[in-house]
Structure 1
């Protein structure tokens, strides 16, 4: 069977949505022919994969949404020449998924929609457009879909309120990181943030974290904040914070061994996101024993996986994040103890997610039903 993936970006570009798409495409390519059409702001020939990946240069980027007429035309060309049996789109990032709907209708090809977040609203000026999109084009997307996949039970419940039934296929720990481990004795006085550093990802709360860390850095001069991630605002952040005490911007890290080394040295992982698809960095941090300090959004998502005695997360308010970080930074011995607990817990979490993913894929027979 031939399966065409249409995605807004694809690794090494993008974030959690794109990493999920890569994992899913890799799983399906074992038994089926898989092909990926995606957009890019970088090198069109970037990356090596066990299936064809074609990148179309982005024409315009609205918020975090890439747009390109060439992408639409190329999707139609592939549908005509390659004749896919199934189209898989990843959303709620608009356009790429909407192209999938159009091609699905024009060529009568079944459509699978993978939904990654709790909607499009981010508390930004683009929310008005997001509401309009959700009330119009997104409804057509769901009506056309033969199958809707949610990446978490929380997303499933969100879609149920919209009258959309879905099955849950959760993300899981990256396979290229599983072979790496760390010793809790190697942990340093390092706070880690992993995420895209660009305007469209401001919801991840990097500004909040930087302000909170700098407020505490005078009291904890031995601690450092490492920021892993690339994006259009990276140079601006380096100019604004690069000379601040203890702050390091490491840029985008794609090499698994290099990323594993960074995780191995971090004692705390902070992700104060107000909007998130899943929070894969939390799974990765747990694998390497980094104690998570999360927003309430992510705490609810991971509360069933984390040991109950670990410190509660801060809310989004700055004062509470400062308080949580202060408590963690002042307790290095407690962090090492929690590192051991997290490493053991992460193994159970990975097994649980792998089992859920396998059962769901087999249970719904994602491809065979078409």
Structure 2
């Protein structure tokens, strides 16, 4: 079976939702599927240097192939005419396309090309069908959906959601879809095996509370900062580590940094910026608590990564895997308000033994539910069902 994975970019700057395509492709290849990723050389918005990669040729990597294509001059839209031309020429060589991201021009156009050539495709929305997300640039998205995404949804063989809650709340624009609910997997880089606290000047004796995600309004920092300020006023000991960036919205990142700088929280905060590789793994391992109080999150790959190394989590009930975390007693759940988050953090920080117990539960839950190998085998069964041609016997003959 030959499968295309189509995604606007797999650059690290776009975070986990894009990077997961790499982990998925490796697991599929390991299971015997021939996989080709089609993507662009986008590496951030206008002014950012594109990825330094060969273009328009397949590159072998970990058992699969990646084809990068030149991004248009308007880099923030991650559009590539060359990618679409390639898809139009080579569609017949593949059994199915798995297309990642809606409301992204290259993904929307790729779905249309696939449909015009009768290539079955699966769409993964990445949370873009959440009503809260649709409120951003609402008029533009309404028009975009009417002309592009509604026909794409209607023509898709399945819609890949990463949690039951994401599927439940997602808008379909009046289209009836076949939903496929499968979580994302976790594959962390090897630890650098350094003293990560010493490297970043994180006090050794303070409990480490880690936020590691894109610095974006939806991530709940507007709740987290005042909650932590309340705990400081109560003389609660901790060190807040803020890891992440946002090249697409640098003004908001600056606003958050300034907010902390002029707050009592400043003396209890270490800002490390965008982290990857071994340092990322070391920070996740060293943290006593991982916190992500998002206003909406279709999955929360960083949460799954933290759980995979046995770090208990504090997440909002708008992180769509929260029910599994609650049932597994792998962390603490809060409502999307400052008071509830403050209570959850106070409780979590008050008992190191309970942190350890819930961290052990988190590790077990992640191993059982976020294994790429297990997810790949489930997805292969779906691929085979979708890609298998329907055989109709000649008139007058019975099926065997």
Aligned 8 A contact 1:117 1:155 in 2: yes
Deviates more, 1:286-295 or 1:104-113: 104-113
Q: Tell me the CA shift for residue 178 of structure 1.
A: 9.9
Q: What does the per-residue CA deviation read over 1:277-323, in whole Å, with 9 as the maximum and x for residues that have no partner?
A: 2111121111223221111122x623235455566421111122122
Match of 1:75 in 2: 83
Does 2:66 align with 1:52?
Answer: yes
Match of 1:18 in 2: 18
Q: Secondary structure at the match of 1:316?
A: coil
Compared with structure 1, are the counterparts of its residues 362 and 14 closer, same or farther at alpha carbon in structure 2 (3 Å cutoff)? same
Match of 2:358 in 1: 338
Aligned counterparts, 1:197-346, within 5 A: 197=215, 201-220=216-235, 222-232=237-247, 233=250, 234-242=253-261, 244-255=266-277, 257-298=278-319, 301-307=321-327, 309=329, 312-346=332-366
Aligned 8 A contact 1:271 1:293 in 2: yes
Compared with structure 1, are the counterparts of its residues 348 and 305 closer, same or farther at alpha carbon in structure 2 (3 Å cutoff)? farther
TM-score (norm 2): 0.75
Q: What does the per-residue CA deviation read over 1:163-202, in whole Å, with 9 as the maximum and x for residues that have no partner?
A: 211222321222546999xxxxx995111112112xxx32
Task: Report how many residues are paired.
Answer: 354
Which of 99, 102, 108 is residue 112 of structure 2 equivalent to? 102
Q: Tell me the CA shift for residue 363 of structure 1.
A: 4.6
Q: Tell me the CA shift for residue 218 of structure 1.
A: 3.8
Aligned 8 A contact 2:77 2:105 in 1: yes
In the aligned structure 1, how far is the partner of 2:12 from the partner of 2:350? 36
Q: Tell me the CA shift for residue 131 of structure 1.
A: 3.7
Deviates more, 1:258-267 or 1:140-149: 140-149
Aligned 8 A contact 1:45 1:55 in 2: no
Could you tell me which runs of 5 or more consecutive residues in structure 1 were left unpaired when the two chains were aligned: 181-185
In the aligned structure 2, how far is the partner of 1:345 from the partner of 1:214? 32
In the aligned structure 2, how far is the partner of 1:301 from the partner of 1:32? 30
In the aligned structure 2, how far is the partner of 1:109 from the partner of 1:342? 40
Compared with structure 1, are the counterparts of its residues 55 and 315 closer, same or farther at alpha carbon in structure 2 (3 Å cutoff)? farther
Q: Secondary structure at the match of 2:321?
A: helix
Compared with structure 1, are the counterparts of its residues 96 and 357 closer, same or farther at alpha carbon in structure 2 (3 Å cutoff)? same
In the aligned structure 1, how far is the partner of 2:156 from the partner of 2:352? 50
Aligned 8 A contact 1:204 1:271 in 2: yes
Q: Tell me the CA shift for residue 356 of structure 1.
A: 4.9
Compared with structure 1, are the counterparts of its residues 46 and 206 closer, same or farther at alpha carbon in structure 2 (3 Å cutoff)? farther
TM-score (norm 1): 0.81
Which of 132, 148, 152 is residue 137 of structure 1 equivalent to? 148
Compared with structure 1, are the counterparts of its residues 309 and 158 closer, same or farther at alpha carbon in structure 2 (3 Å cutoff)? closer
Q: Secondary structure at the match of 2:10?
A: coil
Q: Secondary structure at the match of 2:14?
A: coil
Q: Secondary structure at the match of 1:148?
A: strand
Compared with structure 1, are the counterparts of its residues 367 and 259 closer, same or farther at alpha carbon in structure 2 (3 Å cutoff)? farther
In the aligned structure 2, how far is the partner of 1:281 from the partner of 1:209? 16
Compared with structure 1, are the counterparts of its residues 293 and 72 closer, same or farther at alpha carbon in structure 2 (3 Å cutoff)? same
Q: Tell me the CA shift for residue 101 of structure 1.
A: 2.3
In the aligned structure 2, how far is the partner of 1:345 from the partner of 1:52? 31
Q: Secondary structure at the match of 1:245?
A: helix
Q: Tell me the CA shift for residue 158 of structure 1.
A: 4.4
Which of 150, 157, 164 is residue 161 of structure 2 equivalent to? 150
Match of 2:6 in 1: 6
Q: Secondary structure at the match of 1:303?
A: helix
Match of 2:43 in 1: 40
Could you tell me which runs of 5 or more consecutive residues in structure 2 were left unpaired when the two chains were aligned: 54-58, 194-203, 390-400
Q: Tell me the CA shift for residue 29 of structure 1.
A: 4.3
* Aligned structure 1 segments of 4 or more residues deviating by more than 6 angstroms: none
Match of 1:358 in 2: 377
Compared with structure 1, are the counterparts of its residues 315 and 94 closer, same or farther at alpha carbon in structure 2 (3 Å cutoff)? same
Q: Tell me the CA shift for residue 349 of structure 1.
A: 3.4
